[in-house]
Amino acid sequence: MDIPHLTPLEIEQYAEQEVPATRRAAVDAHVAACDSCRAQATRHTRLTASLRALTRQAAPADLAARISTHVEQYLTQEQIRRTRVPLIASAMVFSFLLVLWFALEMIVAFQENGVLDFFTLYTNDPGLVSLYSWDAILALCETLPFSEITLTGFALITALVLAQQLVDTLRPRTPRPEGF
């Protein structure tokens, strides 16, 4: 074969008889020798003939009005969506400040309860681990500031959700056709 399989564009050009004159002989020879390309060209020719045989209908008279109505509705929705940006941004900043505050409170509680000292003692002394493993773990759990950890986690989740809402609000949306 002189050339590799034809691309979809070349198949379309061949079926529509729009192949450039400089390549026409090579494409004709390839289609004559290649069953796959010949089948694709035949399929495309039949499809094109079937589409041309269909009756054409005029566009509805109110098509332009319906399109402009949908565009106006979309623009109105976008404006409403964009007006929420300052509110979402300020809530997100406040949430991140809460995360910092609760994280500082958690660090202070860790220091006050001696969690880090206890954890260091527990991990550095192998005898303590083997003798009092469950008791030591329970004692470590008692020193953990669960309320500060929980509040920090919830504030972080809230801040991340608000950040995602801000990104979704700022990202341009593509309009979807009705019914989807």
Q: How confident is the model over 62-116, as pLDDT tens digits?
A: 988 999 998 898 888 888 888 888 888 888 888 888 888 888 888 888 788 777 7
Of the candidates 137, 135, 109, the residue with the CA atom closest to the CA atom of residue 123: 137
Rg, the chain, Cα only: 35
Distant-in-sequence contacts of 121-127, Cβ < 8 A, 24+ apart: none
Q: What is the pLDDT of residue 169?
A: 82
**Given this model, what pLDDT does residue 128 score?**
57
Q: Residues for the chain: how many in total?
A: 180
Q: Is the pTM of this model over 0.95?
A: no
- Locate 136 and state its tokens: 């030591």
140-161 average pLDDT score:
83
- Mean pLDDT, residues 36-41 taken together: 89
pLDDT over 50 (residue 36): yes
3-class secondary-structure state, position 147? helix
What is the DSSP secondary structure assignment for residue 144, as one 8-state letter?
S
Are the beta carbons of 5 and 36 closer than 8 angstroms? yes
Residue type, 109: A
In the block, residue with structure tokens 């608000």: 162
Which residues 6+ apart lie within 8 Å of 36 measured at CB? 5
Tokens of 179: 């019914």
The rounded distance, in Å, linking the Cα atoms of 117 and 111 is 8
Residue type, 17: Q
51 has pLDDT over 60: yes
**Domain range summary for the chain, segments of one domain joined by +:** 8-53, 69-170
Predicted pLDDT of residue 83: 87
- The candidate with the shortest Cα–Cα distance to 32, out of 13, 20, 14, is 14
The pLDDT mean for the chain works out to 81
